[in-house]
Amino acid sequence: MSETVVKEIIHKAAREAKKECIMDEVIIPTEIFDVLSYSESSHYQDVPIKDVISLGETDRDILAKGDTWRTSTYKLHCKSWDQNKAKIFQYFISKQKKRYFPAEGSTNDLHVGYIADVYFCKLGNHRLLAAKAWLNNIIGPNMKIYRVYCTEYTLLPDVKDILKKCIEDSGTIAVCHKTRYLKVKSNKGVTLYHKNNDKDSYKKVYNLADLRTLPQKLKGTLDFREIPIEIVKRLLN
C-alpha cells in the first residue's frame, strides 16, 4: 500500500471544502489561552469541529502565522498512518472514551481545552487537524468528535474586564503570548497590558496614540496574534 493514501484522502477533503467555510478561518495559537485563563475541571465530552479554533504553535511543521485550517491541512504528512488506515478513520467517528490514536508514537488521549464554546487543542494537533478536515468534508461543519478529553478554562478577571472594555470601545484585541502582552486598539488609541510573571493579573503599561512610539527594544519582542471580535464575544458568554 502506498505510504500516501491517508494523506491524499485528508488533503482531498481540504481541497473540496467550500470556499469561506470553517476551513478558511485563521488558526489561533493555543498558547494564547495559557496567558488569558486558568484551568478548572477535566472530563470527557463531545467537541463540535466548527468550534475548534486553535492548535498548538509548537508544531511548526503544520502551523505558521496566518495559516488557515485548509493551508495547515496541506502540510500534514500523515507519516505511518497508512498501516492503520481503517482504524484512523474509525477513530475520528468513534464514541469510545480513552481511545488512543492508532499511529506510530501516539500514546495519549486527544486533549482539548475550552472556554464557553471556544475550543483549543492541548495535545493531538495532527489528528485534530486531520479530523476537522475529513469530518467537515464527509458530514459537515456541525459534526462532532465524540468523547474527547477536555479541560474547562476560565478567563482571568483582569482579562475579562479588558475584553469587555474592548467590545464597548469597538476595538480589536491581540495577544503576544511569548511576552504576555495584550494590545487593545480602538479610536481612543492603543493600550498595552502586561501580565505579571508571578501573578494572574494584567497591568496597563502603555497608552499610546500610535504603536510606532513604542520603545524599539520592546517593539522587537512583540509578535501579536489578533483574536477575531466574534471569538472575543464568545469567550465572554
Going from the first residue of the chain to its last (237 residues), give the mean pLDDT of each consecutive group of 10, the final group possibly shorter: 81 96 97 95 98 92 95 94 95 93 90 98 97 98 98 97 96 95 91 86 86 77 94 97
What is the structure's pLDDT at 141? 97
CB atoms within 10 A of CB 80: 14
Listed in order, strand segments (DSSP E) in the chain are 28-29, 37-48, 52-55, 111-115, 118-123, 144-155, 172-176, 181-186, 189-195, 202-208, 225-227
CA-CA-CA-CA torsion sign (4, 82, 56, 128): positive
Measured CA to CA, the distance from residue 121 to residue 144 in angstroms comes to: 14
What is the structure's pLDDT at 187? 87
Measured CA to CA, the distance from residue 53 to residue 68 in angstroms comes to: 10
Measured CA to CA, the distance from residue 82 to residue 4 in angstroms comes to: 7
3-state class of 145 per DSSP? strand
3-state class of 125 per DSSP? helix
Q: Which residues pair with 148 in a beta bridge?
A: 45
Q: What's the predicted TM-score (pTM) here?
A: 0.93
- Kindly state the cell numbers that stand for 160: 475579562
- Kindly state the cell numbers that stand for 74: 496541506
- How many residues are given for the chain? 237
Are 17 and 136 in contact, with CB atoms under 8 Å apart? yes
- Quickly tell me which residue has 495535545 as its cell: 123
Strand order in the sheet with 52-55: 28-29, 52-55, 118-123, 111-115, 144-155, 37-48
What is the structure's pLDDT at 1? 43
- Kindly state the cell numbers that stand for 145: 468528535
What is the structure's pLDDT at 23? 98
Measured CA to CA, the distance from residue 200 to residue 16 in angstroms comes to: 43
What is the structure's pLDDT at 218? 81
What is the domain partition of the chain in residue ranges? 5-155, 157-235
What is the structure's pLDDT at 5? 95
